A = this chain, B = another copy of it.
Amino acid sequence: MANRKLRFFQNAYFTKQELDKVSAFVRDSGTTLILPYDQFIEHDCRHLEAESDSGNPDYIMQLGIEGKYNAVAIHYGLAKRFWKKYKNKIPLILKVNGKTSIPSQARALSTHTSFVEDAAEIGAAGVGYTLYYGSPREDEDIPQLARVRKECEKYGLPLIVWAYPRGEAIDAKGGRDSSYALESAARMATEMGATIIKSNVPKAAPKGFLENSAVPEYYKKVEAELSGLNPVQAKRERIKRVVKAAQGIPVLFSGGSEISDEDLLNNAKYCMEGGCFGFIFGRNMWKRPKDRALEITKQLLALLDEQRA
């Protein structure tokens, strides 16, 4: 039913146009699993070190199709040169901004690798945008996102915001993986009009970090609240808090660096329990050998399709 399928889109207002597009990459169970493959811009070629044909866009498309992913999230070059060959088999989220990890990240800003108009022309089901929450160049990032949002509305395209804390001030005040920073970033994406938010799973503050004088009182308080819980409880709570910060805008969690099958599935379970809309798992999938990737994908989909709503 439409109701079940779009159950994550009932706590806030969405236009009919964007929900029509969203439907293209949502499972009948209302959840989604997206295969991101923008890392060859973000991280040089380091992910070629893999037990799979990780550098090959054709491989990725096939993995996405065979694994029954709901979409791939890629930059324009790959969309044009590779996805186009598979376009009826897997929907496209066009990532419209990016940067490398080569220069200093202290004042990170991710700029256009393509445009929303490209997404519309090529037949994308959605647009991806990376917001570097808290970066000293947020004064350029925020209006850039506002224009992307406006363009998405023009073409009726859903906007997925990668809500990533980043930059020297975040490093000093919270750390990019902190609950403090990730919750605030998710909220920022809601404030900016995201259709869907992508977040990383928050982590506890590194030992001693909270003693830095730049750390805000609020962050200390958040950590104090969570410090009484055991690690699993704390992780669950951190996940729930991000979902809550987004206030009804569906949240996708990413997988981050490569982890074990068990950790991956456990994390996924906690995320589902925490109310997440789905996953956007890249490295953990396309760097595994194909058979293992397909196997774990299958388990993940089962998890996503468990009756819950």
Interface residues of A (CB under 8 A from B): 12-14, 40-41, 44-46, 48-49, 55-58, 75-78, 80-82, 84-85, 98-100, 102-104, 109-115, 117-118, 133-136, 138-140, 142-143, 146, 149-150, 167-170, 173, 180, 183-184, 187-194, 216-218, 221, 244-245, 247-249
- List 15 A-B residue pairs with CB atoms under 8 Å apart, sorted by A's residue number: A45-B184, A45-B187, A45-B245, A49-B218, A55-B187, A77-B193, A80-B193, A81-B249, A99-B142, A102-B167, A104-B169, A111-B139, A112-B142, A114-B193, A115-B146
- How far does the alpha carbon of A134 sit from the alpha carbon of B75 in the complex, in Å? 17
Q: What residues of B have a CB within 8 angstroms of the CB of A104 in the complex?
A: 136, 169
Min Cβ gap A217→B in Å is 8
Cβ B99 vs Cβ A191 within 8 A: no
Known: A77-B194, A192-B76, A193-B76. A85 touches B13 (CB 8 A): yes
Cβ B193 vs Cβ A81 within 8 A: yes
- How far does the alpha carbon of A173 sit from the alpha carbon of B76 in the complex, in Å? 27
- How far does the alpha carbon of A89 sit from the alpha carbon of B290 in the complex, in Å? 51
The 5 closest A-B pairs by CB, nearest first: A102-B134, A46-B218, A77-B193, A12-B81, A44-B184
Q: What residues of B have a CB within 8 angstroms of the CB of A142 in the complex?
A: 98-99, 111-113
Min Cβ gap A297→B in Å is 23
- How far does the alpha carbon of A84 sit from the alpha carbon of B13 in the complex, in Å? 7
Min Cβ gap A205→B in Å is 15
- How far does the alpha carbon of A167 sit from the alpha carbon of B23 in the complex, in Å? 44
Cβ B45 vs Cβ A111 within 8 A: no
- How far does the alpha carbon of A82 sit from the alpha carbon of B248 in the complex, in Å? 10
Cβ B13 vs Cβ A150 within 8 A: no
Min Cβ gap A300→B in Å is 26
Cβ A115 vs Cβ B245 within 8 A: no
Q: What residues of B have a CB within 8 angstroms of the CB of A249 in the complex?
A: 77, 81
Min Cβ gap A234→B in Å is 17
Min Cβ gap A239→B in Å is 15
Cβ B111 vs Cβ A13 within 8 A: no
Q: What residues of B have a CB within 8 angstroms of the CB of A167 in the complex?
A: 102-103
Known: A55-B247, A187-B40. A133 touches B100 (CB 8 A): yes
